[in-house]
Amino acid sequence: MHPQSAHSPLQIAEPVAQALRDGTPVVALESTIISHGMPWPDNLQMAQRVEQTVRDSGATPATIAVMGGRWCVGLADEALERLARQGPATPKLSRRDLPLVTARGGDGATTVAATMIIAARAGIRVFATGGIGGVHRGAAQSMDISADLLELARSPVAVVCAGAKAILDLGLTLEVLETQGVPVYGWCTDELPAFYSRRSGLRLPCRVDSLDELAAALQLQWATGLGGGALVANPIPAAAEIPHESIAPVIDDALVQAAQQGIHGAAVTPYLLSRLNDLTVGRSLAANIELVLNNARVAAGLAAAWARLQPSLPIVPVASASR
């Protein structure tokens, strides 16, 4: 790593740094969804639309990735396109991967867990994504549990999502979150959304219908030293949803095919998302894009509510750099 980076690898783009200095709303966005979640050029178009949706909703977008060993918070247009074009060739980074990739001066797309870590370091409290990772089906044998769930118990960031990815064991995912003490708030819903579907049949412990109330709960969580993050479960818009009874058998078929091909570990989720897109003739990709845009809108509103609660003194980022 370059000597300048020895103290901190954090590099905050000037528009994001200015928003943090001014105390105006900022929404973190992950990069794995760009590199591993969608095919080119849909991934670039999605990333650009999500950033614009955040801006149109009154907040500053901060897409996060590791580029040349720097923890970049806010990407220039060319960096966003580079990630999208490279696709899965860019390594997917979670908590365990950050130190070595950073030390080597490498690139990487950040998962939910890694994005939370970097967002928290930058002073960003709200993060929008599609769906979090969770407990994989058959985890009793494989022990395949996403680091996203443990990070939600560590980093003080609120993650707005459409629940956990529908290919997972949603019931066990909720159980792990409960064990880790992570608040799970249903945004205008009593049930955990099932990513492509608005309902899962799994009742949530808390429903919120006011972003100001949610921001106040987050402020109390962090001010009282409870620590950790929070999950804000936001159902996919009704017009874009794929009902559970329609998508469930397709997911089952894709899981069988993944097992037959010996696909496991970190490769499972990208494979299944791609296979679902094929099996649904593009319907699952369209739903994925709409739910991410919807999460971006809610996250921008939450970031604005959070900003209204903060004292007049601005957040001073750990480090910043011009685009």
pLDDT at 2: 35
Residues in the chain: 323
pLDDT at 151: 98
Q: Is residue 317 part of a domain?
A: no
Active-site residue, selected from the candidate residues 30, 51, 81, 191: 30
Q: Which domain holds residue 169?
A: 9-309
Q: Is residue 13 part of a domain?
A: yes
Residue 112: strand, helix, or coil: helix
Among left, alpha and beta (phi > 0; psi -120 to 50; other), residue 179 is alpha
Q: Is residue 116 part of a domain?
A: yes
Phi, psi (rounded to 5 degrees) for 43: -65, -40
DSSP H stretches of helix in 127-243 = 139-142, 147-152, 170-179, 211-223
Question: What's the CA gap between 180 and 17, in Å, rounded?
Answer: 32
pLDDT at 317: 53
Q: Is residue 42 part of a domain?
A: yes
162: CATH: 3.40.1790.10
pLDDT tens sequence for the chain (323 residues): 333 344 789 999 999 999 999 999 999 999 999 999 888 999 999 999 999 999 999 999 999 999 999 999 999 999 999 999 999 999 999 999 999 999 999 999 999 999 999 999 999 999 999 999 999 877 777 778 899 999 999 999 999 999 998 888 999 999 999 999 999 999 999 999 999 999 999 999 999 999 999 999 999 999 999 999 999 999 999 999 999 889 989 888 888 888 899 887 667 777 877 888 888 888 999 999 999 999 999 999 999 999 999 874 444 555 544 44
pLDDT at 144: 81
pLDDT at 6: 47
Residue-wise over 180-208: b if at least 16 C-beta within 10 A, else e?
eebbbbbbebebbbbbbbbbbebebeeeb
Q: Is residue 315 part of a domain?
A: no
- Reply yes or no on whether 92 is catalytic: no
pLDDT at 138: 76
Closest CA to 186 of 170, 217, 166, 163: 163
Active-site residue, selected from the candidate residues 51, 81, 92, 165: 165
pTM of the full structure: 0.90
Q: What is the pLDDT of residues 167-212, one digit of tens each?
A: 889 999 999 999 999 999 999 999 999 999 999 999 999 999 999 9
Number of structural domains found in the chain: 1
pLDDT at 161: 98
Dump strand ranges (E) for 182-245. 184-187, 206-208, 230-233
Q: Is residue 240 part of a domain?
A: yes
Q: Is residue 4 part of a domain?
A: no
pLDDT at 278: 85
Pairing of strands 60-67, 108-110: antiparallel
Question: What's the CA gap between 307 and 169, in Å, rounded?
Answer: 35
